[in-house]
Structure formats: structure tokens, C-alpha cells
Structure 1
Amino acid sequence: MSAADELDGPFEKRFVALGDSFTEGVGDIDPSSPNAVRGWADRVAAQLIAEDPRWGYANLAIRGKKLPQALDEQIDAAVAMEPTLVTLYAGGNDILRPVVNVDGLMARYRHAVRQLVDTGAQVVLFTGFDSAKAPVFNLTRGRTAIYNEHVRKIADDLGCTLVDFWHMKKFQDWRYWDVDRMHLGISGHTAMAKEVLAVLGAKDDIPAPEIEDLPPQNLVERTAGNVTWTREHVLPWMKRRLTGTSSGDDLSPKYPKLTSRIW
């Protein structure tokens, strides 16, 4: 049997990534990857596998998922894989809705996290990003702060590992973000992968992202850029919300089964 024909698994260590576009990797464009994106979770998995081939990896996250959808569609599948490491971030799409019951959502979140903890896996949770300097999205900063307090309390109560995105102020530099200003770009996902590896206490051979200086802009240029951003990204996003559609409606998980073969 050739190396290419060898069985992929079973695995002694199993990393399952759950959530929405943040974990799917939107913004980290890579045509060779499933769904044409890579992302911080894939980068973390590649590092873990390179260091220890006993790791397998699954990524069930899909862009556009609200928290109840992500939990309903992904938790049972994750539990069935008997994970040893799970990452979970969901809720950002709910926070951006016109009306949201954050406390109610987080009651469901707590129950789901407990299910993951009961598998014996190390469970990694994320706070939401501080949008203080983000046009439009800064209006939801208060909701995110409430969400984060729930996440911190749940992590503390259930013994989870926390990646505190809110306090990573370097990500308020737009050079870490995609042109849509909603998702991390390649440099941002690379930096986040390094942050997650650090929290895990894992070896990190990922080169630090190169951040290029942006050309200076005058007021007219900044205004024109904001108009273009609104037309090309904000308005289509708002239309999807109004029509009840999602950018992930026709997508499947990138890695629905545990594998060590990630692109």
C-alpha cells in the first residue's frame, strides 16, 4: 500500500473547530483550500499535526451561521467525534441583528459548552472583538461587551480555556482585516493562529505576518473609500439580513470528518 493510500486515522488526538465565518476562515483567501478559504483554525491544526501526527482535525464552521444554528448543527457532530480539543466561537451574527436577546442566547451557549466539556476535551472559547474603532459595527459594542461577560463567566465556571479577542488591541489596526472590514484578512488569521497556539501552550513555527504600511489618505480619499466599502460590502450584507439569506446557505463544512490531510 502506498503512502497516499494509507488510512487517514483513527487519531489519538482530535481537534474539532466550531462556529461561523471567523472559524471557517473567511477573509483568508486560499483557492486551494475547501470553500476557498484557509483561516486561523486550519493554521493551528497544521501546526499541531506537523508537531505530532497523532492529531486529526475537523472544521464544521460555516459562514453566516447564527448561534442557535451553529449549536444545533455542529455540537452533536462534534461530540460524536470524541474530541480532545474543541474551539467554539459563535454569536457575532446574532449581535449584529436589529433585535437580539443576548442573555437568552448565552443560556443556550452555556448548555452547549457543558456538552463539549463533558466529552473530556479541552474547550477553547473566544470573546468578541472590540469594535470601538469600526464604522457601523461600533454601534453593537455594548452588546458584545455583555456577550463577553457571559463567555468569561462560562469559561470560568466550566474550566474552559479563553482566547480574549476583546483585549487584543493590535487587531484594531485595519491592516489585519479583509477589505470587507468584517473578517480578518490573511495577516489577521495568521496572527490569530499564533495567539491561539500561545494560549494552548503549543509550539509555534508560524512566521509572523508581514504588515505593510498603508499609503496616507486625505479626507476626500477616505470618504471615497468609505462610500465604496458601504456600496460593495455593507449594503449586500444588509440585503442578506433583510431577505433572510446567508452567504453560507449553499456551503458545506470544510472538513466534516477528522483528517490529517489539510490543504
Structure 2
Amino acid sequence: MDFSNRYVALGDSFTEGVGDHAPELPNGVRGWADRLAAHLASQDGDWGYANLAIRGRKMAQILDEQLEPALAMQPTLVTIYSGVNDLMRPAVDIDALLVSYDEAIGRLVGSGAQVLMFTGFDAKVSKIFARLRGRTAIYNELVREISDKHGTGLVDFWRFREFDDWRMWAEDRIHMSAPGHQRMAQRVLDALGRPSSLPEPELPDLEAKSVAERLREQAEWTRDHVGPWIGRRVRGASSGDDLAPRWPQLRRP
């Protein structure tokens, strides 16, 4: 199927759409990239869309598995978010990581595609992930250098303070909620310089909770999400090990 505009999304759980539950869709999620693609098609129907992102993927896996298939589709627009899973490992060579990223971005830009990169989020509101702020800041500065070098667009997630609101995050406190994905789609449209008719995210009302309720929620979160996450790291496993890309071929959004 031929399209005059072809959008290919690359990355990990952030781009796959984890946290935006949609049982009727592949892998049970929707996400900001699906929302973006549908909006682009509503403005100009001649869009093809593929999403190659898979949760848990690290930088080398994303580049090894997704770059060549993306280039083969001759994309006119590419979004790529990669490397944050690497930052969560006990040890990481951020400089070496970004050398590979630089080469991949150069190839994407050289194909003629419009490319959008992302910085990592400033997780200062999280007691667990706030310890990664230093790594993420270094990663972000290198991402900005690569973006400047190749002339890509940049979605500067680090500076999006609305995501300090926990209602923008799913129950696991790692992935964005449906409102968070909706807001990210708006932010990406802003970075593309395109007008948005997407509605504002509908946030649930804030609930006043007792100390006991907050402690119980913290214990449940640790049991249901932190424990399994640590267990996968110990085993060298990933939540995406048995998953395939949601939209591996260009399709109408």
C-alpha cells in the first residue's frame, strides 16, 4: 500500500504505549504514537503508520531490530525514544551508548525523513527513580548535541512539568497513563509545528488520603510492580521478551 506520508515510531514501552490500556488492540495498549498517527491522518488522510516499539528494549536492541525495517519503509516522519532502559541498569557507559545513537540518527536523517528525538523525563517526584536524575541529565545533554548536529526535532520531556502530576502516570508509576499519553501526543504535535485538535487529557479528581491509605498503596505498588520489575532484572528477562511489534507494517491509522 502506497502512502505519500509514512510515519514510523521506534523505541521501547514509552512508544509502544504501555500504560494506555486498550485490550482490543495489539499488545493491549494504544499510546501517544497511535493517537498522533490518527490525528495526522484526520488532517491529511494519506498517512501510513507503523509502530515497531517493544517494551523493555534497550538501545542496542532497538537499533539492531528496528532501524533497518524502519528505513526499508522509506519513512517521511520518524519518532525515536531509546536508551532510558539502559540508564536503569546497574552500570552503563552513556558516552558509548550515544555514539551508536548518533550513527543511527544520522542514517535516519540521511534517508530524508523528518526525525523527532526525545529527552528523558526528570523523575524528581519519584523516590525510586529520582536517583537516576544525574544519569538522565547527562544522557539528555548528549541527546541535545545529537539533535543539534543532525538538525532533528526534539521533544524535551525533561522540561514537561505537567508530568510531575501522578495522574499522568499509570498504576506502575513507570509508564504514562492514558491522560499522560494524550498529553504527550499534544506535545509531539507542538514539536512538529502542527496544529492540534486533540482534546485536553481528562484527569481524575485528586483524592485526599490518610497516612494509612498511602502506606497501604505503597506496599501494594512495591508488591505488584517493583518486585516483579526487580525480579526480571535479576533474571535478565524483559516484559517484552515474548512480544512482537504492534504495527510492524505500514497501515492506515
- Match in the other structure for 1:42: 34
C-alpha displacement of 1:52 = 0.8
Distance 1:25 1:135 in 2: 24
Q: Give 3-state SS (helix, strand or coil) of 2:121's partner.
A: coil
Match status 1:251 vs 2:243: yes
Give me the whole-angstrom Cα distance separating, in 1, the residues matched to 2:88 and 2:206: 28
Runs of 4+ in 1 over 3 A off after TM superposition: none
In structure 2, how many angstroms separate the alpha carbons of the residues matched to 1:49 and 1:230?
40
Q: What's the TM-score, normalizing by structure 2? A: 0.98
Which of 202, 209, 215 matches 2:201?
209
- Which of 145, 165, 169 in structure 1 is aligned with 2:137? 145
Task: Pick the aligned partner of 1:84 from 76, 79, 97.
Answer: 76
SS of 1:10's equivalent?
coil
1:101-250 aligned within 5 A: 101-250=93-242
Give yes or no for the alignment of 1:62 onto 2:82: no
Q: Which residue of 2 aligns with 1:4?
A: none
For 2:185, the aligned partner's letter is: A
| Alignment deviations for residues 152-184 of structure 1 (CA, whole Å, 9 cap, x no partner) | 110011000000000001101000100000000
User: Does residue 1:52 correspond to 2:82, yes or no?
Assistant: no
Answer with 216-225 or 170-179: which moved more.
Answer: 216-225
SS in 2 for 1:61: coil
Shift of 1:213: 2.0
Deviations 1:25-81 (A, max 9, x none): 000000121111000000000001111121100000000001110111000111111
Name the aligned partner's letter for residue 24 of structure 2. S
In 2: Cα distance, 1:25 partner to 1:210 partner: 17
SS in 1 for 2:249: strand
Deviation at residue 220 of structure 1 after TM alignment:
2.1
Q: If the length of structure 1 is used for normalisation, what is the TM-score?
A: 0.94
Q: How far apart, in 1, do the equivalents of 2:195 and 2:73 lie?
A: 24
Distance 1:99 1:198 in 2: 35
The equivalent residue for 1:6 is none
For residue 16 of structure 2, the aligned residue among 24, 32, 40 is 24
SS at structure 2 position matched to 1:82: coil
| Unpaired segments ≥5 residues, structure 1 | 1-8
